[in-house]
């Protein structure tokens, strides 16, 4: 057993709770709802879920699993393969689980990420029986110090009857002090969230719970999984370029200053590449009020462009992870990690005036966005926090490459096959081809700008033909319903949205 | 000229600005953006727009017209017929204007109603050149006392270079004191909106502007248009019954008290009928935090069920209007009218935990809602405030009759032809057939509950067949894209969604 864990458990009476993952997992029974830490592969519970999967080899064991957001460490994969997941809430990004969801074997309920704990707190979804929370330490009073994410961990631990803690020795003890744990009061006593800038701290450093709720402590040495993002390429660089140009224009027009407004960037390659693109921009004194902080956040710090970043997790590439977590003290006074209810809270997003950058799977000629469903039916990951931000932002930007599958798919289609974000929540649409500024435009105008600025040929002409024919039938938002999904159907049948030559 | 108007203009130097509607309308020039008071037919500018339409007979005159929401007094109709409207923002409900929008002659940009003044304030849409505001009085300092709505009037008057005031002598001087004018500070100085209950007053009684901006004052004696809602019928009574039953269940389960939570009800017959249904319910001590206050609000006051109502306008039937405005003092301490930015503000809606009741034009088997587009193409009215409330509510309810056009249209379809509210923002779907509680359900489960509870035969069996076939193709949200709109197409071609016998 590790000796160093004793420094991490500062309430001596809790040392008796230290046990094995297998023994801790015994607390979890068939039919329970389990809340686990973890947000975008960061700070997830890593060993107790594996012990649970192991147990499922020999007994009937189905649970509802709630997390902050996506997990790493193959937790979702392993639990899926073991048949443990009956229900999964509110986000996932695992290929094996995704397949089970799309086969209808796991009931998946994706949420706007700010909302899950509101639903739990008001008992509108099944209560958490047990929480499994990764911690860097347990304080003298039995409070939990989170690691690389906060996510829903605080509310899970507060609302659960029992809490299992994974003390992870690979997580730096210097993470203590990074977190700001604020829990809104219950209605009707709820007060404003007093955050007026990205850097405001309004809560405590630890998750305060009655220590007697901690039924087991497991010591682990398993690192967070690394980020899966790809490096910038020519197309993501072009998207970043269009956005930098757009923001220069906004600054010149007097609508923004060179500090812009607090930035949110969704997870993934495109958003990360766009943020990296700000390194070579005229903007400085930037702040972020976002969910996940990726490599680009720290590149911007190092470039002297970024003053402060607020998030709910930190998810980095292997190299950047070594740099950042090897010396987190270097960044600590410029960082805060919050519960996802607060990082994504409509109240704060609207007040601060966030510039939100999220990724579209496909968009349509009127600016509706599909972020989740391939062919309108098959779940990719989930809506995540994009709806929290897009609806309430000062400016809502969606980015996508204009083509996929070597040009056999156009990301801009006549009508999206699933709507996650309506035209009202999409101010800017940008592809490597160009940028469509949709503010103040009616649907017919939006179609013209999107098709003209964001689409590659031959799809551009195909969309122009569609709009022309639809407009003859009239309407505020012209469509030919019998042809609206013909591109998707053609792809399903022929493997390409392009008509046969 | 009316003598009594002198009591309504309490800043003597402004008496020289009193003029005719025709002279006042001269301030408006071709190409201008004009902001007019008016929200759901209440408190609209009534005579200057008519003079403007008259002028358009003899000169080129096109404007962008912004309002709070829909207008009465045939203003939108008359301006449309005169060809004055180039652009219209953010809501309308006029048959003549609707036709022009659907012909593509008027560019219509509907907004989430809380957002228009945010866009104006940040110069993301064209600035207001001139505001035309109906007032009950002008104070000693030149501030405006609104009438039966606040809507966007305050921000329009504050942001415009010039203001024309319509002093309406038919509006009771006792309206003074009813309004609570709060304007959020500009970012980055913005602070929380300090509203913690529906009854909290956080601003002043009047719209404060530099009096020199008032370029003209016109005295009118034209009443607000009455509400166009229909009385409750058997189907709306059944919808109300299902909801009362649902809330009894929620109270029994301990999730709500008999006071429920602050209620929002969209405009129209169904929402009004449901609210009236609370008269014969076990709930009391109710509050409303809504947009428009309709007949049902005052019926609930008179029945001793409702303690307080916050809105942005009051729109009543002719008889109820005489009762209420003939003696507004009777209700005044239980009422407040706010700017629509505040009545619909995500921050306040989320904090208070609103129960939101809005109307669907059609809904689909997964709970997506179309509130606006007939056949996915032709605008009916606009999204209005439904998105502000549905996204941020404690509980989001959408109601519709299950059938339309004598059964030739099913309001529940395989896939909505336009999405205004995604499945994530729809907790309860209710028709006269029954109620679907969608909380915590995955899409496949949602389909089963919606089809089973809310749909009349033969559409119920048709939807079951659709789901069964779609599910064989797999996916988290099974669909047959090539058939998803076949019901809409059949209706367009045959006049019925039912297959030929």
Q: Do A440 and B188 touch (CB under 8 A)?
A: no
Question: Are A186 and A49 within one domain?
Answer: yes
Q: Do A126 and B488 touch (CB under 8 A)?
A: no
pLDDT at A2: 55
What percent of chain A has a predicted confidence (pLDDT) above 70?
Answer: 99
Cα of B105 to nearest chain A Cα, Å: 10
* Binding-site annotation, residues of A: 381, 385, 405
Task: With residue B299 as reference, give the H or E element that holds it.
Answer: helix B295-302
Q: Do B440 and A484 touch (CB under 8 A)?
A: no
Q: How far is CA A408 from CA A363, A369, A403, in A?
A: 16, 19, 7
* Averaged confidence pLDDT in chain A: 97
- Determine the residue among B344, B425, B442 to mutate to test chain A binding: the one whose Cβ has the most chain A Cβ atoms within 10 Å: B442
Q: Do β-strands B214-220 and B18-19 pair in parallel, antiparallel, or remain unpaired?
A: parallel
Question: Are A199 and A251 within one domain?
Answer: no
Torsion on CA atoms B269, B274, B276, B282, rounded to nearest 10: 180
Residues of chain A in contact with residue B249, where contact means CB-CB under 8 angstroms, are: none
Sorted by sequence, the CB contacts under 8 Å of residue B293 that are 6+ apart come out as B309, B311, B313, B314, B315, B335
Question: Are B49 and B194 within one domain?
Answer: yes
A113, closest residue in chain B (CA to CA): B424
Q: Which of B161, B185, B220 corresponds to the end of one domain? A: B220
Mean pLDDT of the region B423-442: 98
What percent of chain B has a predicted confidence (pLDDT) above 70?
Answer: 99
In a domain, B331, yes or no: yes
Cα of A233 to nearest chain B Cα, Å: 31
Are A479 and B377 spatial neighbours (Cβ–Cβ below 8 Å)?
yes
Question: Are B21 and B79 within one domain?
Answer: yes
Sorted by sequence, the CB contacts under 8 Å of residue A160 that are 6+ apart come out as A35, A128, A129, A130, A131, A213
pLDDT at A473: 97
Q: Which of B161, B196, B220 corresponds to the end of one domain? A: B220
Taking only the tens place, the pLDDT of each residue in B1-39 is: 455 899 999 999 999 999 999 999 999 999 999 999 999
DSSP result, B382-421: --TTHHHHHHH-SEEEEE--SEEGGGTEESEESS-SS-SB
- Determine the residue among A417, A467, A476, A477 to mutate to test chain B binding: the one whose Cβ has the most chain B Cβ atoms within 10 Å: A476
Are B334 and B308 spatial neighbours (Cβ–Cβ below 8 Å)?
yes
A115, closest residue in chain B (CA to CA): B392
What CATH number corresponds to the domain at position B416?
3.40.1080.10
Mean pLDDT of the region B443-449: 98
pLDDT at A229: 85
Task: Name the residue among B218, B35, B211 with its Cα closest to residue B139.
Answer: B211
* C-alpha span between A219 and A170 (Å, rounded): 10
Taking only the tens place, the pLDDT of each residue in B373-410 is: 999 999 999 999 999 999 999 999 999 999 999 999 99
* C-alpha span between A353 and A355 (Å, rounded): 7
In a domain, A501, yes or no: no
Question: Are B192 and B337 within one domain?
Answer: no
- Statement: residue A1 has pLDDT above 90: no
Q: Do A109 and B479 touch (CB under 8 A)?
A: no
Q: Do A417 and B481 touch (CB under 8 A)?
A: yes
Taking only the tens place, the pLDDT of each residue in A448-466 is: 999 999 999 999 999 999 9
In a domain, A499, yes or no: no
Q: Do B377 and A111 touch (CB under 8 A)?
A: no
* C-alpha span between B475 and A390 (Å, rounded): 26
- Determine the residue among B262, B475, B483 to mutate to test chain A binding: the one whose Cβ has the most chain A Cβ atoms within 10 Å: B475
Task: Number of helices (H) and strands (E) in chain A: give both, helices first.
Answer: 17, 27
Among A197, A255, A378, beta carbon nearest to B188: A197
3-state secondary structure B86-140: EEEECCCCCHHHHHHHHCCCCEECCCCCCCHHHHHHCCCCCCCCEEEEEECEECC
Q: Do A373 and B477 touch (CB under 8 A)?
A: yes
Cα of B385 to nearest chain A Cα, Å: 12
Residues of chain A in contact with residue B122, where contact means CB-CB under 8 angstroms, are: 255, 353, 394
∠ Cα A384 A389 A392 (to 5°): 140
Question: Are A205 and A259 within one domain?
Answer: no
Among B188, B261, B375, beta carbon nearest to A481: B375
Mean pLDDT of the region B64-93: 98
| Structural domain span for residue A154 | 6-220
* C-alpha span between A151 and A174 (Å, rounded): 19
* C-alpha span between B487 and B414 (Å, rounded): 8
Task: Name the residue among A85, A171, A109 with its Cα closest to residue B367.
Answer: A109
- Statement: residue A407 has pLDDT above 60: yes
Q: Please, what is the end-to-end C-alpha distance for chain A in angstroms?
A: 67
Task: Pinpoint the alpha helices (H) of A258-345.
Answer: 269-277, 295-302, 318-326, 340-343
Question: Are A211 and A322 within one domain?
Answer: no
Q: Do B392 and A346 touch (CB under 8 A)?
A: yes
Task: Name the residue among A315, A268, A262, A318 with its Cα closest to residue A292.
Answer: A315
Among B109, B261, B394, beta carbon nearest to A440: B109
Are A371 and A397 spatial neighbours (Cβ–Cβ below 8 Å)?
no
Q: How far is CA B458 from CA B123, B331, B407, B454, B499, in A?
A: 52, 48, 10, 12, 10
The one-character DSSP state at A145 is E
In a domain, A215, yes or no: yes
pLDDT at B4: 81
* Binding-site annotation, residues of A for CoA: 381, 385, 405
Among B104, B112, B188, beta carbon nearest to A444: B104
Q: Do B187 and A261 touch (CB under 8 A)?
A: yes
Confidence of residue A268 (pLDDT cuts 50, 70, 90): confident
Q: Do β-strands A33-36 and B378-379 pair in parallel, antiparallel, or remain unpaired?
A: unpaired
Tokens representing B176? 């003074």
Give the count of beta carbons closer than 10 Å to the beta carbon of residue A258.
13
Token look-up 């997506």 returns B368
Confidence of residue B216 (pLDDT cuts 50, 70, 90): very high
B347, closest residue in chain A (CA to CA): A347
Question: Are B144 and B282 within one domain?
Answer: no
Sorted by sequence, the CB contacts under 8 Å of residue B478 that are 6+ apart come out as A104, A377, B443, B444, B467, B470, B471
Range B72-78, long-range pairs (CB < 8 A, 24+ positions): B72/B38, B72/B41, B72/B42, B72/B44, B72/B224, B72/B225, B72/B226, B73/B41, B73/B44, B73/B46, B73/B222, B73/B224, B73/B225, B74/B225, B75/B36, B75/B38, B75/B44, B75/B45, B75/B46, B75/B49, B75/B50, B78/B49, B78/B50, B78/B53
Residues of chain B in contact with residue A373, where contact means CB-CB under 8 angstroms, are: 475-477
Task: Name the residue among B371, B376, B369, B367 with its Cα closest to residue B487.
Answer: B376
Taking only the tens place, the pLDDT of each residue in A182-236 is: 999 999 999 999 999 999 999 999 999 999 999 999 999 999 999 988 888 999 9
Taking only the tens place, the pLDDT of each residue in A98-119 is: 999 999 999 999 999 999 999 9
Which residues of B are catalytic, by number?
A: 291
- Statement: residue B348 has pLDDT above 70: yes
What percent of chain A has a predicted confidence (pLDDT) above 90?
Answer: 97
In a domain, B250, yes or no: yes
* C-alpha span between B113 and B115 (Å, rounded): 5
Which residues of A are catalytic, by number?
A: 291
Sorted by sequence, the CB contacts under 8 Å of residue A176 that are 6+ apart come out as A136, A137, A145, A205, A206
A-B contacts at Cβ under 8 angstroms: 228
Taking only the tens place, the pLDDT of each residue in A287-316 is: 999 999 999 999 999 999 999 999 999 999
* C-alpha span between A279 and A355 (Å, rounded): 17
* C-alpha span between A18 and A6 (Å, rounded): 10
Residues of chain B in contact with residue A392, where contact means CB-CB under 8 angstroms, are: 346
Sorted by sequence, the CB contacts under 8 Å of residue B96 that are 6+ apart come out as B76, B77, B80, B81
- Statement: residue A264 has pLDDT above 80: yes
Confidence of residue B162 (pLDDT cuts 50, 70, 90): very high
pLDDT at A4: 81
Residues of chain B in contact with residue A377, where contact means CB-CB under 8 angstroms, are: 470, 473-479, 481
* C-alpha span between B320 and B334 (Å, rounded): 17
In a domain, B399, yes or no: yes
Question: Are A206 and A301 within one domain?
Answer: no
Are B477 and A109 spatial neighbours (Cβ–Cβ below 8 Å)?
no
Phi, psi (5° rounding) for residue A378?
-100, 115
Q: Which of A182, A198, A220 corresponds to the end of one domain? A: A220
Question: Are B271 and B168 within one domain?
Answer: no
Q: Do B122 and A188 touch (CB under 8 A)?
A: no
Number of domains in chain A: 2
Mean pLDDT of the region A360-366: 98
Question: Are A100 and A44 within one domain?
Answer: yes
Among B255, B482, B488, beta carbon nearest to A489: B482
Mean pLDDT of the region A333-359: 98
Mean pLDDT of the region A48-77: 97
B118, closest residue in chain A (CA to CA): A394
Cα A432 to chain centroid distance, Å, stands at 23
pLDDT at B3: 59
Q: Do A255 and B122 touch (CB under 8 A)?
A: yes
Q: Do B378 and A439 touch (CB under 8 A)?
A: no
Helix, strand, coil percent values for chain B (each to nearest 5): 35, 20, 45
Angular region, B20: left φ>0, alpha ψ -120 to 50, beta rest: beta
* Binding-site annotation, residues of B for CoA: 381, 385, 405
* Binding-site annotation, residues of B: 381, 385, 405
- The 10 Å CB-count burial string (b at 16+, else e) for A276-307 is bbbbebebeebbbbbbbbbbbbbbbbeeebbb
Question: Are A214 and A238 within one domain?
Answer: no
* Averaged confidence pLDDT in chain B: 97
Token look-up 């998750």 returns A207
Residues of chain A in contact with residue B441, where contact means CB-CB under 8 angstroms, are: 107, 109
- Statement: residue A72 has pLDDT above 70: yes
What percent of chain B has a predicted confidence (pLDDT) above 90?
Answer: 97
Cα B457 to chain centroid distance, Å, stands at 32
In a domain, B225, yes or no: no
Among A261, A352, A489, beta carbon nearest to B481: A489
E strands, B331-402, in order? 335-337, 355-359, 362-364, 369-370, 373-374, 378-379, 395-399
Confidence of residue A500 (pLDDT cuts 50, 70, 90): confident
Among B190, B419, B479, beta carbon nearest to A419: B419
Confidence of residue B228 (pLDDT cuts 50, 70, 90): confident
In a domain, A92, yes or no: yes
Confidence of residue B500 (pLDDT cuts 50, 70, 90): confident
Tokens representing A180? 């700001």
Mean pLDDT of the region A491-497: 97
- Statement: residue A275 has pLDDT above 70: yes
């Amino acid at each position: 057993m590790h000796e160093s864990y004793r420094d991490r458990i500062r309430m001596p009476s809790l040392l008796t709770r230290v046990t094995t993952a297998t023994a801790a997992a015994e607390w979890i029974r068939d039919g329970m709802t389990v809340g686990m830490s973890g947000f975008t592969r960061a700070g997830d519970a890593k060993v107790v879920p594996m012990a649970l999967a192991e147990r499922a080899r020999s007994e009937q064991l189905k649970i509802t699993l709630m997390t902050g957001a996506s997990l790493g460490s193959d937790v979702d994969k392993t639990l899926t393969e073991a048949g443990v997941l009956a229900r999964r809430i509110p986000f996932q990004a695992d290929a094996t689980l995704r397949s089970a969801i799309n086969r209808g074997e796991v009931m998946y309920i994706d949420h706007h990420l700010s909302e899950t704990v509101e639903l739990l707190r008001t008992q509108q979804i099944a209560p958490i029986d047990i929480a499994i929370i990764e911690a860097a330490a347990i304080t003298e009073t039995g409070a939990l110090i989170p690691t690389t994410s906060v996510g829903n961990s605080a509310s899970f631990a507060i609302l659960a009857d029992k809490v299992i803690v994974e003390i992870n020795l690979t997580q730096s003890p210097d993470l203590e002090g990074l977190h700001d744990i604020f829990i809104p009061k219950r209605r009707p006593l709820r007060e404003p969230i007093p955050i007026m800038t990205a850097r405001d701290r309004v809560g405590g450093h630890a998750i305060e719970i009655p220590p007697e709720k901690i039924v087991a402590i497991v010591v682990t040495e398993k690192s967070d999984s690394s980020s899966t993002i790809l490096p910038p390429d020519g197309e993501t660089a072009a998207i970043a370029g269009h956005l930098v140009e757009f923001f220069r224009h906004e600054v010149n027009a007097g609508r923004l200053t060179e500090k812009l407004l607090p930035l949110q960037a969704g997870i993934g390659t495109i958003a990360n590449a766009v943020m990296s693109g700000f390194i070579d921009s005229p903007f400085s004194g930037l702040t972020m009020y976002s969910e996940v902080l990726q490599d680009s956040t720290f590149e911007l710090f190092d470039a002297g462009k970024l003053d402060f970043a607020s998030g709910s997790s930190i998810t980095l590439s292997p190299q950047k992870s070594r740099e950042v977590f090897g010396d987190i003290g270097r960044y600590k006074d410029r960082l805060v990690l919050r519960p996802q209810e607060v990082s994504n809270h409509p109240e704060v997003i609207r007040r601060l005036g966030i510039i939100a950058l999220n990724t579209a799977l496909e968009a349509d000629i009127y600016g509706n966005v599909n972020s989740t469903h391939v062919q309108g039916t098959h779940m990719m990951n989930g809506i995540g926090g994009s709806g929290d931000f897009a609806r309430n932002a000062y400016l809502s930007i969606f980015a996508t490459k204009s083509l996929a599958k070597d040009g056999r798919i156009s990301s801009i289609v006549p009508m999206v096959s699933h709507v996650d974000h309506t035209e009202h929540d999409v101010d800017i649409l940008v592809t490597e081809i160009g940028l469509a500024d949709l503010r103040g435009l009616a649907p017919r105008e939006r179609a013209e700008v999107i098709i003209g600025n964001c689409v590659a040929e031959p799809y551009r002409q195909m969309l122009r033909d569609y709009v022309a024919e639809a407009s003859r039938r009239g309407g505020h938002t012209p469509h030919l319903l019998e042809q609206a999904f013909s591109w998707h159907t053609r792809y399903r049948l022929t493997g390409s949205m392009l008509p046969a030559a």
